Structure 1
């Protein structure tokens, strides 16, 4: 049963990833067709095609590996004029310099040739590069925004539909005694002082209504009042069997170590009662999900901003066997493995469903942020090129000059190739780490 549940979890995550990719590409496809761009292909996955069907001028299909997708638009780059194409080598240069220029020129020429093929028989108005700047930005931004919308929906389902586990104001258990500081005992002994909550008459099943005259709606609010009143008697109102009961609680002094935001620690004296709350799944307001999604965006942005250091740590942990950071980058293998472990875990079904939804929502946040990195071939790179064109046109208009030709991004193909190689290398590292030194999210 455990193996079957694990496989079900993996399959569910693979399907979820496929849907996320499909919606991402639809985010590109719909505005592209709306603006009249000729779209030759809409493909989900990478590798060999396992199924495809042509509808109108577009071929729709699935590929073997659900690790990406794409749409093929006519004229992703503008047509290169004769004098704009990669120039022939001229002048004296060293053999090494000549080879370097030759490789660069070859890459650019190949990219221009491939781009020219998409322009054959297509009117300039139906090419991506022939669109206005804002339309190009809308098309490229549509994919990441679909992932953000999906993440917001999933987080809303998680927070407001399934609910989040929270400590409630209902008392789950009451400690019998106060164990001496530093004691390793697990049971009360003769002479141990009774816990304040027990002495006050608080019982399991009581629901905390107010403490020291302040109404409480969460256990965190009740704990804060208890901790703020060491050694001082306070009135506690609990609901028991449908009626309010007023009790007197005197929290004892308890010394705890507190860590400040700057990492420094100090010892503070706080109140202790000996109450444990019950944990229930609570549905939160509808805005809690979107708020969590945007907080998650900030966290992922920090991860991407520190990606080189994070990858170094991942590589170091891989080769030394160190424990990986649960908040660090993972490949689809790692996410699928976590999904399988969650599905096979010995936990209530709604707890497992909640974690799966959270994983899929976080994955879509990662797709949203990563695709907006301003480097080709990512969506953010195409947006940057379009915005650069907009800036150039604005300056030309300001100084009453003729509109400049669209930026020939094929000349960035060598840089794009470097980015692709780095992405492949990053993927290989994360694949290896997720296989040989996986993140222990649920414990070893």
Structure 2
């Protein structure tokens, strides 16, 4: 493992993550502006601002910690019930609240002063409401976020996660369609002169070694396998499957040699060889063996292969995400006991960076390593997509639930011909948001520690 290649892989992961965060925020920013909501800030990262510039009404910038990002939308929450300033949507006098919607779904309210230590959560709610009363004054007929129709609010909040899903499709698409998948083709690369035992260190044949079935049958490098035992084959894997299942049985092999088809007879011998086990990992088994290898080429997959790979990965991540607390707990146990981590264990950004570095520093061809890093970035964006859909504040999914609940209340009132209800006072959920944030910080800390002291071993 070369240090330079490892560092380059980590750097590519960081750049790709920054792009993912930036586009996540674009997914929130564009529909918010399209629906007329004032967006005060668009920031990549957290902490001290390194660079910023204002274009129109929005300040764009980069902060010191590239672990997320946010946009600030005017009027994410309605005025507090006690303020008495609630008006129908579109009223100029309505005061909104300037909140931050981040790549991790963060919605941050300005902290109030004078918290009561005996009533911590009650003080948090009051702080949020106080911040609400000190927010921006509406400009003309422009709506605040909470005044938008439910569907538009959902579109704004889902814009970020959907952008991550689309970006994952792009990363996977470049990997499998643009670069291609290394595939053993039906073209024979080499034919063994003799049959050597599995795992033998011997490289040259001796007069006592039996001729390989492929050599005895007259197969030659450059032959293109057309069919085996009457079955047409498109890949070397299909030919190998028939051969491995037929030890001691004469097989008819049709090959294309210099543009002309030839029919040969080959009888696979029984031998111990490495084959793929049920879990996809190599294992030793007695199978049919003829002694030939295939030419490996990059095969470009169809355009829909990238989206298919992203959706398949999404299903796997969903299966992991709903068990996240249990899996994080098991990861903590593995740290204490020293047991190897489950390959399906969740990873932090540290783990993803380490994996990207190992891929970049591997012995595989350069295109393979590039495709590997793209796949890591694709998987990371799928994780962001699924994670942000969890229906808890401060995640994007939590804001969607608030919007849907608001819409449900209005629908019920309309059905029963009641006066329109007040908008949902999401500031009441600030204590829940606080608990969720603390839980996420703790789980993230456990995963980061595990990725340092007991990383997932995916590359052996």
TM category, shorter: 0.7 to 0.9
Q: 1:346 aligns with which of 363, 371, 374?
A: 363
Aligned pair 1:71/2:71, yes or no? yes
Q: Which residue of 1 aligns with 2:5?
A: 5
**SS, match of residue 70 in structure 2:** strand
Alpha carbons of structure 1 residues 131 and 247: separation in structure 2 relative to 1, 3 Å? same
Kindly indicate whether the alpha-carbon contact (under 8 Å) linking 2:83 and 2:133 is maintained by their aligned counterparts in 1. Answer: no
For structure 1, which segment, 280-289 or 431-440, has the greater mean C-alpha deviation from structure 2 after superposition?
A: 431-440
Aligned to 1:41: 41
Selected match of 1:401 from 406, 418, 422? 418
Determine whether 1:218 maps to 2:214: no
SS in 2 for 1:244: strand
Pair 417,84 (structure 1): closer, same or farther in 2 beyond 3 Å: farther
Asked if the contact 2:359/2:372 (under 8 Å) is kept, the reply is yes
Displacement of 1:31 = 0.5
Q: Distance between the aligned counterparts of 1:391 and 1:199, measured in 2?
A: 76
Give the Cα–Cα distance (whole angstroms) in 2 for the partners of residues 367 and 298 of structure 1: 13
Residues 107-136 of structure 1: CA distance to partner in whole angstroms, max 9, x if unpaired? Answer: 111112223333434568521111110010
2:429 matches 1:423:
no
The equivalent position to 1:105 in structure 2, one of 101, 122, 125, is 122
C-alpha deviation, 1:34, in angstroms: 0.6
Task: Report how many aligned residue pairs link the two structures.
Answer: 424
CA distance in 1, matches of 2:58, 2:170: 29
- Counterpart for residue 285 of structure 1: 302
Cα separation, 2, equivalents of 1:259 and 1:350? 27
Where structure 2 has 5 or more consecutive residues not aligned to the other structure, the ranges are 86-115
Q: RMSD value over aligned CA atoms?
A: 2.8
Is 1:116 the counterpart of 2:95? The answer is no
Cα 1:125–1:408 change in 2 (3 A) is farther
Quick check: 1:251–1:273 contact (8 Å CA) kept in 2?
Answer: yes
Gaps of 5+ in 1: 86-98, 262-266
- Find the counterpart in structure 2 of residue 95 from structure 1: none
CA deviation string 1:117-172 (max 9, x = no partner): 33434568521111110010000000011111111111111111100111221223
Q: Tell whether the 8 Å contact from 2:28 to 2:71 is kept in structure 1 after alignment.
A: yes
Aligned partner of residue 104 in structure 1, secondary structure: helix
TM-score (norm 2): 0.84
Q: Distance in 1 between matches of 2:36 and 2:135?
A: 15
Task: Check whether the contact 1:250–1:273 (CA below 8 A) recurs between aligned residues.
Answer: yes
What does residue range 359-370 of structure 1 map to in structure 2 within 5 Å? 359-370=376-387
Secondary structure of 1:308's match?
Answer: helix
Separation (CA, whole Å) in 1 of partners of 2:26 and 2:139? 22
Change (3 A) 1:100 1:388: farther
Q: 1 CA distance for matches of 2:395 and 2:338?
A: 33
Name the CA distance, whole Å, in 2 between partners of 1:194 and 1:239. Answer: 23
